[in-house]
């Protein structure tokens, strides 16, 4: 009878961990790996899917599925660039289980991707352009009066427009 970690292989089951709404299967291996240093991991560069990276890491670490400390300790071997910097900067007491680390990794990677996408967005229309576009769309009864007004921003232009509207209703303008 083959043993791994004191548990007969016939009694071991697949370990399931739910992370980010997805199930990761941690399957026990048929034999323990001789040395962790000999493992070669696919490196997470930040451009691939973090869920896929976690799944592949779990497959690579199949022989150690019941040892959260080993899973946590070896995870940095699968990271490079910003992801590795994030891992190194983790607070020591924050990660207690493999699931904690996997969830923190997913949150970090999605936040990082959001920042990258947000940086690519064209800057919003500047205030002066908003005022110009708005003035070009107003009816002619307002246009003559608004064009002569020097409104510094859109909010001030709205106030001027309301005053003109009240003036027209009261018959102040011809």
**% of the chain with per-residue pLDDT over 90:** 5
Q: Give me the phi and psi of 141, to 5 degrees please.
A: -65, -30
Q: How confident is the model at residue 162 (pLDDT cuts 50, 70, 90)?
A: confident
Most confident of 34-38, 49-53, 136-140: 49-53
Question: 154 to each of 61, 89, 157, 169, how far by Cα in Å?
Answer: 59, 44, 5, 23
Quickly count: other Cβ atoms within 10 Å of residue 129's Cβ.
11
- Short-list 151, 146, 154, CA closest to 127: 154
Q: Compute CA 94 distance to the chain's CA centroid, rounded to the nearest angstrom.
A: 19
What angle (nearest 5°) sits at the alpha carbon of residue 133, between those of residues 127 and 136?
Answer: 140
Least confident range from 12-21, 144-153, 163-172: namely 12-21
What mean pLDDT do residues 115-139 have? 72
Q: Residue 4 pLDDT more than 50?
A: no
**Residues 6+ positions from 77 with CB-CB distance below 8 Å:** 39, 41
pLDDT value at residue 101: 92
Which tokens hold the place of 133? 């576009």
Report pLDDT digits (tens) over 68-102: 888 888 888 889 898 899 898 888 788 899 999 99
What mean pLDDT do residues 15-31 have? 55
What mean pLDDT do residues 164-172 have? 78
Q: What is the mean pLDDT of the chain?
A: 74
For 168-174, which contacts have Cβ atoms below 8 Å and span 24 or more sequence positions? 168/141, 173/145
User: Regarding beta strands 3-4 and 7-8, do their DSSP bridges make them parallel or antiparallel, or are they unpaired?
Assistant: antiparallel
pLDDT value at residue 138: 72
Domain assignments of the chain as residue spans, ordered by start? 3-120, 127-169
Contact 22, 29 (CB under 8 A): no
Report pLDDT digits (tens) over 130-158: 777 777 777 776 677 766 666 667 777 77
3-class DSSP state of 8: strand
Name the residue with tokens 């976690």: 54
Q: How confident is the model at residue 33 (pLDDT cuts 50, 70, 90)?
A: very low
3-class DSSP state of 89: coil
pLDDT value at residue 150: 64
């Amino acid at each position: 009878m083959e043993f791994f970690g004191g548990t007969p292989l016939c009694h071991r089951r697949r370990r399931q961990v739910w992370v980010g709404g997805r199930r990761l299967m941690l399957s026990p291996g048929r034999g323990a790996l001789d040395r962790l240093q000999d493992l070669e991991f696919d490196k997470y560069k930040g451009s691939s899917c973090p869920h896929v990276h976690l799944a592949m890491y779990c497959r690579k670490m199949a022989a150690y599925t019941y040892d959260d400390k080993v899973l946590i300790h070896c995870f940095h071997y699968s990271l490079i660039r910003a992801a590795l910097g994030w891992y190194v900067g983790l607070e020591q007491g924050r990660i207690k289980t493999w699931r904690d680390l996997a969830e923190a990794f997913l949150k970090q990677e999605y936040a990082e991707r959001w920042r990258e996408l947000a940086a690519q967005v064209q800057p919003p229309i500047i205030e002066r352009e908003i005022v110009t576009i708005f003035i070009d769309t107003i009816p002619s009864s307002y246009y003559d009066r608004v064009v002569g007004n020097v409104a510094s921003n859109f909010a001030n232009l709205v106030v001027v427009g309301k005053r003109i509207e009240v003036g027209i209703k009261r018959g102040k303008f011809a």
